Structure 1
Amino acid sequence: MKNKIEKTIQPDWWSKSFAGAIFGLSLAIALGNLIVVIGKHFIAMDLLVQLAMWSIPWLWMPLLFISFLFHTGKAAIFYMAAANLLAYACLFLLRG
């Protein structure tokens, strides 16, 4: 129990800011594109494009804030990069 209490979040904010700003933005763009690819058969394209475009800041800001909750900056970079790889792999598979 004491080991969990002593484990604190490291204050290396440069790498966490980089992970949230760069990888968070690219992940938000990928998720916005996934909205278009998945919803193109269900919603009109003009509405869908606007929805995807305006969803990017709503997705990016929480991703930026979440990046500061990782224990180290290296962990933030690793997990955000892994999430990017997964999102872009799904996007390219669905686009065909």
Structure 2
Amino acid sequence: MTLKTGRRETLSRDWLSKTLAGVIGGFGLAIAASGLLACLTPGALDEQNKFQVAMWLVPPVWIGVMSGSFVFRSGRRAWIGLAAANALGFAMLALARHFFIR
């Protein structure tokens, strides 16, 4: 892809780093989202169905985050952004478990 400045910019810059960030960071975010769903929906579904829905939430979230990891400008930014999102997700899960599970 040629930019207006005449520089040649490739779309595949840092693709390996972005892919690994998406795979690892996406899995963590998917697990945090699944845990939040299971924790924040007490009584909404019976126990078996609630955990089944939480389990099936993991692949779509994981794939979505993996796909979104290529939007970052560099692999380093992907790692930093997904690490921050994971920290926030697991902090929210810890707070939810602390306040909602007795």
TM over 0.5: yes
What does residue 91 of structure 2 align with? 89
TM-score by length of 2: 0.83
Q: Which amino acid aligns with 2:19?
A: S
Contact 1:19 1:80 (C-alpha < 8 Å) held by counterparts:
yes
Rg larger for: 2
Identical pairs, percent: 38
* Equivalent residue runs for 1:43-62 within 5 Å: 43-62=45-64
List structure 1 runs of 4+ shifted beyond 3 angstroms.
Answer: 6-10
Q: TM-score, normalised by structure 1?
A: 0.88
Say whether residues 1:73 and 2:75 are aligned partners. Answer: yes
Structure 1 residues 8-17 or 77-86, which shifts more?
A: 8-17
CA contact (8 A) 1:21 1:64 kept: yes
- The CA RMSD over aligned residues, in Å, is 1.9
How many pairs align? 93
Question: Relative contact order, CA 8 A, sep 6+: which one is greater?
Answer: 1
* Structure number with higher helix proportion: 1
**Which runs of 5 or more residues in structure 2 are unaligned?**
none
